[in-house]
Amino acid sequence: MTGLLEGITVLDLASVGPAVRASGWLADYGADVIRVGPTTRDQDVQLVPKPHYYSGGRGTRQVQIDLKSDRGRAAFLRLASHADVVIESFRPGVVDRLGIGYDDVKALNGGIVYCSTTGYGQTGHRAHWAGHDLNYLAVGGYLAGTEPAADGKPPLPGATIADSAGGGMQAVIAILAALVARAGSGEGRYLDVAVADGVLALMSLQIDDVLATGAEQLPGCAPLSGRFACYDTYRAADGGWLAVAAIEPKFWANLCTALGLESSIDRQYDEDAQDELRAVLAEAFAARTRDEWVDQLAGADTCVAPVLSASEAAADPGFRSRHAFAETTGPAGSGAAQLAPLFAGVTRESSYLLPDRSVTDTDVVFAEAGLIADEVAALRDAGAIA
């Protein structure tokens, strides 16, 4: 089965972060993703991911180009003239100064979808701020809206939510929408993906409530952030934790009945009863282990699930039954398992051959762009490519 994006060529100028997540997901859908890296790495400014990060480069190829040289710039534009998508994550203004910005590429390829991913966008007073995932969660209201420590310290999230959902997924959605529009008009599009904007979109329930009512959204005050006992986490007898999300009255009634707390059914949203309800739920859950409760409650329409660690999730039979993991073979032979492509509509295999990141696909990629071997050799001799 072919991928849904077969025939789409993507040039990715990033090495880590939202752009690499986006291009990796596009590769999972069958796009020909070509990672464009520098001929020499400046270790002070460019992060080099561990070999198994970002799915080990699954489904991608790579070239190395000196974008600061005239011949390197021309070589990149040659590739871009044949591409469908360019993704970059330089700080605002850098690609224009290098001569590889949207206008430069559009002049050669009017159908190009050019996606710039930055923390705060190309415009606005934060545009030139440096930042990472935690910063974008901070300005978007996510950290302040999450249950703080006893001293009020905002929590550190356990995953890069901003990079993944706020940035990478936003970029994929925008790119796919632009490709659909191009199919009708023939025209490309410039996409200004700001990760902080993506976080704000994820916070839409809370932000829209503030805009509509003027009420401050304090931690623990929203219905789904700790206001009610029916939506919280509880410790079991073995120290494990359970996530309870019995929002609907029927699920709450099922839960209370299973726990022998029938007298609590009609008090689910009684504002004055929440501390008491939390206490009785905590006492009930403390009587048995996490997994014992899961065995009893998870399949009984109670909206109860175990809080799993990353290692537990990696061994979880539920995910394994969904074929969420795949074996890999790398340059040195068999490698470790990794997450398979997980999004709906991807072609999922049981094993994957991972690229050797120590070598490039430069000769093949430039040959596909129409350069003969002597031209490629001349570019390499000049240090424009590697």
Out of 84, 133, 163, 197, pick the active-site residue. 163
Among candidates 118, 308, 307, 88, which has minimal Cα distance to 197? 118
Q: Please say if 163 is a catalytic residue.
A: yes
Helix (H) / strand (E) element for 176: namely helix 169-185
Structure tokens, 204: 């839409």
Q: Distance (Å, rounded) from C-alpha 132 to C-alpha 167?
A: 11
First to last CA, the chain: 34
Distance of CA 13 to the CA centre of its chain: 17
Q: Please say if 132 is a catalytic residue.
A: yes
* Residues 233 and 241 sit within 8 Å (Cβ to Cβ): yes
Backbone phi, psi, residue 175, to 5°: -65, -45
Backbone phi, psi, residue 166, to 5°: -75, -30
Structure tokens, 71: 């011949």
Q: Distance (Å, rounded) from C-alpha 376 to C-alpha 372?
A: 6
Q: Distance (Å, rounded) from C-alpha 164 to C-alpha 20?
A: 10
Cβ-Cβ contacts under 8 Å for 45 (sequence gap 6 or more): none
Q: Distance (Å, rounded) from C-alpha 261 to C-alpha 241?
A: 20
CB atoms within 10 A of CB 287: 11
Out of 128, 132, 266, 323, pick the active-site residue. 132
Q: What residues are annotated to the active site? A: 132, 163
